[in-house]
Chains A and B, each alone.
Chain A
């Protein structure tokens, strides 16, 4: 395996969607190639940081109450006609 192919497979490797054979090849290449090792680490941590940068938050109860009120006011009395 060369460096270009190894790099192109990072995404599938992280998603565990590669064949057993390719997993072994990627692991072996990363083990023996320092550039791809660094490349894989930085790629992986970039993905991890993206998940952590703005963790999901909850809508405030007040906002949710306002939303429910708007929904009730706009929900058609007879929605069947829209189907």
Chain B
């Protein structure tokens, strides 16, 4: 074809895939396979499932790309397909963690404990990482998805809103509440290492 695929925009690639150019699909796989895999892995915590989901997602792209009317929104459409596939897997396998109650997020009792000065080998220990993974997994689905897309995958609020079909304020609200729950759970865990702050106002 003589086209510099890696220089093409997503919209150009989508248009070329619609016109039956397999090289454009190759470039989409090259561009997005890691992103799709990581999102699927972070939602399922299962490497094998993430590989299967990735394959299903790209097959869905081939089958449904003709329904994508706004080529520029390809990446958020892809994240939506991936998110739906990951939750479909979790529902099918009934792999849902016990959810943390979101009502009454009482933060007060944790605000006197400053665990942020703990050494990195404590903050980033395998045990604390596992606590955080389980805490993220315990968030209600709607909140967890936003936290993973934002704080783990690094998407912008606008991209998350487009991906999930919700407003930017709704993204911000879910993200803030999710972070508060994670902080509460981390504070509970780290409290075994630290004394209440003695800082005076």
Please give the residue numbers on chain A whose beta carbons come within 8 Å of chain B beta carbons, in ascending order.
7-8, 10-12, 15, 32-35, 37-39, 41-47, 49-54, 56-59, 63-64, 66-68, 70-72, 74-80, 82-83
Interface string of B2-42 (1 = CB under 8 A from A): 00000000000000011111100110010001100110011
Q: Assess whether B62 is interfacial by the CB under 8 Å rule.
A: yes
How many interface residues does chain B have, given as a range? 35 or more
Using known A-B contacts A33-B201, A71-B58, determine if residue A50 contacts B182 with beta carbons closer than 8 Å: yes
Min distance, Cβ A79 to any Cβ of chain B, angstroms: 4
Q: Write 25 A-B pairs (CB below 8 A) sorted by A numbering.
A: A11-B175, A11-B179, A12-B172, A37-B199, A38-B112, A41-B114, A41-B116, A42-B183, A43-B183, A45-B115, A46-B186, A47-B179, A50-B147, A50-B182, A53-B129, A53-B152, A57-B41, A59-B34, A63-B54, A66-B55, A67-B33, A68-B26, A71-B29, A72-B22, A76-B20
Main SS at interface, chain A:
helix
